Amino acid sequence: MQQDGLILELQNGNQRAFERIYELYSESTYGIIYSIVHDEKIAEEILQDVFLKIWNNSSSYNSDKGRFFTWVLNIARNASIDQIRSKSHKNSRKNLTTDNFVDILESGSNFSAKADAIGVKKYINVLKPICKKLIDLLFFKGFTQKETAEELDMPLGTVKTKNRACINKLREMLVE
């Protein structure tokens, strides 16, 4: 069965077409999901959710707007990002607080020595603690600015302003 015919059958509610699409796309879709969430169990759960969305929303796919595989990957990517941004996911990673990030960067650990050897430590050491926390949450943990404001108990405007100032400070140091 041609791919276009397979997709049409899926849109008509054909369960065998859905099974074939799962066979064709599940492995690569799982790979995309896992690359975002870095957890096998969570990736498997999201994969199930993604294929449920494909089954339930197949009529929304339009070949004029792009390839079917791209449509599937967008569903997978969005579901993965939603999971990472969910409160339950963040709560499960509570032991990875911003304090851990700051402690690793400032400690005399092997990492610190390596960072110093490649010249990164001098930039990290000059950052204010708030910058370290903001960078950790916004860039390493994928928090939105709103979520960062809630986590740090700070007004959203302050988070935006401080983040901009921290990034500008890093830029200045890197240009020097």
For the chain, list residues with pLDDT below 70. Answer: 1, 87-122, 124-125, 139-142, 176
pLDDT at 4: 83
Please answer whether residues 84 and 36 qualify as being in contact, where contact means their C-beta atoms are separated by less than 8 angstroms. yes
pLDDT at 36: 84
- Residue with the two structure tokens 């990290």: 124
- Residue with the two structure tokens 């066979």: 23
**CATH topology for 3-91?**
Rna Polymerase Sigma Factor; Chain: A (1.10.1740)
Please answer whether residues 125 and 115 qualify as being in contact, where contact means their C-beta atoms are separated by less than 8 angstroms. no
CATH architecture of the domain formed by 95-175: Orthogonal Bundle (1.10)
Please answer whether residues 33 and 76 qualify as being in contact, where contact means their C-beta atoms are separated by less than 8 angstroms. yes
As given in the structure block, the two tokens for residue 144 are: 């939105």
Residue-wise pLDDT tens digits, 48-60: 999 999 999 999 9
CA 21: distance to chain centroid? Answer: 25
What is the DSSP annotation of the chain?
--HHHHHHHHHTT-HHHHHHHHHHHHHHHHHHHHHHH--HHHHHHHHHHHHHHHHHHGGG--GGGS-HHHHHHHHHHHHHHHHHHSHHHHHHTTTS-HHHHHHHHHSSSHHHHHHHHTT-HHHHHHS-HHHHHHHIIIIIS---HHHHHHHHT--HHHHHHHHHHHHHHHHHHHH-
Domain spans of the chain, in order of start: 3-91, 95-175
| Sign of the alpha-carbon torsion through 58, 63, 69, 70 | negative
pLDDT at 14: 94
Residue-wise pLDDT tens digits, 60-82: 999 888 889 889 988 998 898 88
pLDDT at 72: 93
